[in-house]
Amino acid sequence: MRPQPGKIGLAATKPMATQRDLALAYSPGVAAPVRAIAADPDSVYDYTSKGNMVAVVSNGTAILGLGNLGAAASKPVMEGKAVLFKRFADLDAFDVEVEYTDPDRFIECVQGFGNSFGGINLEDIKAPECFEIETRLRELLDIPVFHDDQHGTAIIAAAGLINACHLTGRKFEDLKVVLCGAGAAGLSVIELIKSMGVKDENTTVVDIDGVVYRGREGDHGRLASHAIETDKRTLLEAAEGADCLLGLSAAGAFTPEIVSRLAPNPIIFAMANPTPEITPEEVAKVRDDAIMATGRSDYPNQVNNVLGFPYIFRGALDVRARTINEEMKIAAAQALAALAREDVPDEVAEAYGGDRLQYGRDYIIPTPFDPRLIHYIPPNVAEAAVKTGVARKSIEDFEAYRRELERRSNPSASIQQRITASIRKTQKRIVFAEGEEPSVIRAAYAFQNQGLGQAVLIAREDIARANMRAVGLPDDALEICNARLSEHNAEYADFLYEKLQRRGFLRRDVQRRVNNDRNIFSACMLKMGHADGMVTGVTRHSNVVMKDVTLVLEPAEGSRAVGIAAAIGQDRTLLFGDVSISEFPDAEGLAEIAIATAQAAKRLRITPHLAFLSYSSFGNPPGERTEKIQEAVRILDRLDVDFEYEGEMAADIALSPDHHDLYPFSRLTRPANVLVMPAIHSASIALRLLKSAGGATVIGPMLVGLEKPVQIARLGASVTDIVNLAGIAAYDLNTVEA
């Protein structure tokens, strides 16, 4: 059977498994919200999905750069737009293709269905009709109406312009701007940057007939409003001494001569698609001081509307805004500009072939795959809506709102946020053992700069400082500790020799390890109380790291080292143990793993309901491999632990809310959320299946059970992973708060 055509479908948000579900979904239960909405129309946001729904509407009169091909031909583009709304902002968007090209009939049609949605995104409607359509629909409808071809481009271009001015030392009020292309997008860009401070007299608009000057005949009202007193009549003349050249016209519109006439350090945004007015290569032949942006993804600084519309609607709908005003657009542009100046996470580099992006002339606009967009842009848009009085609903705590948005795109955010909130109060001292690695340096700086704790690099000073400079940090950004030169070197060697002298180690062996092995030295720092936790593993396999660390550190009293992992889905979080240390634990080992994993769950504010997993459930089918699991349960019985546990159980039984129907004697009062695996290989298989086929987000392995907090990253871990593990080390999963 062929796959379903198209890009979108419909998924229910509530189950339809029982007669009661059907009654609530339709009749008779649905009558209650019907009456409530009739009495209070605004309550439709409380009882229906309107507040998360956007209609993407077009008549197909200006599809991409292809022209007027009709409403039906626009459907693939509108479906694609709907997919982007869902992917980037978790908004449900529905494409609506309207056959009317007459503005009056189009407006009447959209007015008829518009209030069924939380917002209207107009798309691919030709100018100048699009201006009238948007203006009148904004007046007629009590929801946001946003023509993305106009305002989306304007917002992204304005964000890039903010940073281009920042890099070249310019101010908006002094900026001399020339716009080539007086269509919907071009005029919207000019109008937005004027509202941000660019002066009318410093702005020249050029269309196909030349400079738009005061008194020129035939210009429609919106275009005429941008006419200026000037004797210049051509783009070449207008470009003389201009600071900024904006293009939303056609390929080849900017010639080398035009570029040569611009002021020093010119800002050139050549945004025509698919071929820009001039390419960066062509500009480079004329001058090397230009900052360039295009609409192309294969050049730096792409002006891409997907950076705007999903997040603008997200913020607008979350406060039930009646419109999207200038202040909301400016807030979005300013937030985008600020984000581009932040350090870029590894996920972005991976999405772009490993290139390390850094704020500067070739990176003034964030990239669409930056995971921070969802919690950077909407809060600023929402706050602007509240301040300007167009919001029906206020947000009392914008920091909590940011955390909620982060959880929408990253299911693991709730756990990470809990850890972050706790460790900011304690300010633990965390050792980054591989302190010469650029990724570790960036992670240590991010950890410290975010106020998560104090970072210490174990490294040779000259190499660490050289690498700091290479990643854009000052020499004194982080504390560096050289193991060989440390004032504690002899103390650590004495301690370790006493510990290992009867295990075949000579004094010189121990001294060499303290001097040269950063994991040994870092573990000694923890043991002797000179640091609170450590993170390592980026350059060595975890088993090698574990051998080094356990030469210094012992298991915590009554515990053992255990690797746990969290698999976080949309509706549940599961903790797994052991996933990295004990290959085939015996019964006693399984019991210890259960205790350590349950304790970690409590530390993460998860009430443990623990199941020992197996291929069998309660003795059926029988087998010798299940006997050790049964014995592990009996060990816990004797220990009288303070958490629910049961087993041995098959995975589907453990996770089923109805398993009491078959096994009424089960001690679990709810489906298991802590799973003790019989061996590492089964844990690995289960986690990879959940991640790849089930779409779960996996955190870990997280190491628990040592006397001091140590976290071992995977080989080649990303900066984000290292920071998260440093946070877990500072949080200390071994300690359960009262």
Active-site positions read 26, 81
Q: Which residues pair with 67 in a beta bridge?
A: 63
Contact in structure between 485 and 492 (CB atoms under 8 Å): no
**Euclidean distance between CA atoms 285 and 256, whole angstroms:** 8
Q: Which amino acid is at 640?
A: D
Q: How would DSSP label each residue in 254-307?
A: S-HHHHHTSPSS-EEEE--SSS-SS-HHHHHHH-S--EEEES-TTSSSB--GGG
Give which of 609, 678, 670 is closest to 641, Cα–Cα: 609
Q: Which amino acid is at 701?
A: P
Q: Which two tokens stand for residue 456?
A: 């210490």
Quick count: other Cβ atoms within 10 Å of Cβ 39? 8
Contact in structure between 551 and 498 (CB atoms under 8 Å): no
For helices 587-603 and 624-639, what crossing angle results, to 10°?
Answer: 60
Quick count: other Cβ atoms within 10 Å of Cβ 738? 2
**Euclidean distance between CA atoms 702 and 713, whole angstroms:** 9
DSSP 211: E
**Euclidean distance between CA atoms 191 and 187, whole angstroms:** 6
Give which of 148, 154, 130 is closest to 222, Cα–Cα: 130
Q: Largest Cα–Cα distance of the chain, in whole Å?
A: 99
Q: How far apart are the first and last CA of the chain?
A: 57
DSSP 663: -
Q: Which residues pair with 711 in a beta bridge?
A: 535
The angle formed by the CA atoms of residues 711, 717 and 723, to the nearest 5 degrees, is 55
Contact in structure between 492 and 521 (CB atoms under 8 Å): yes
Strands in 609-613's sheet, in edge-to-edge order, are 644-649, 609-613, 674-676, 573-577, 562-568, 697-704
Q: Which two tokens stand for residue 369?
A: 């795959």
Specify the residue for token string 């720092």. Answer: 525
Q: Which residues pair with 120 in a beta bridge?
A: 55, 145
The CA distances from residue 675 to 362, 458, 536, 572, 725, in Å, are: 48, 36, 26, 13, 21
**Euclidean distance between CA atoms 578 and 559, whole angstroms:** 13
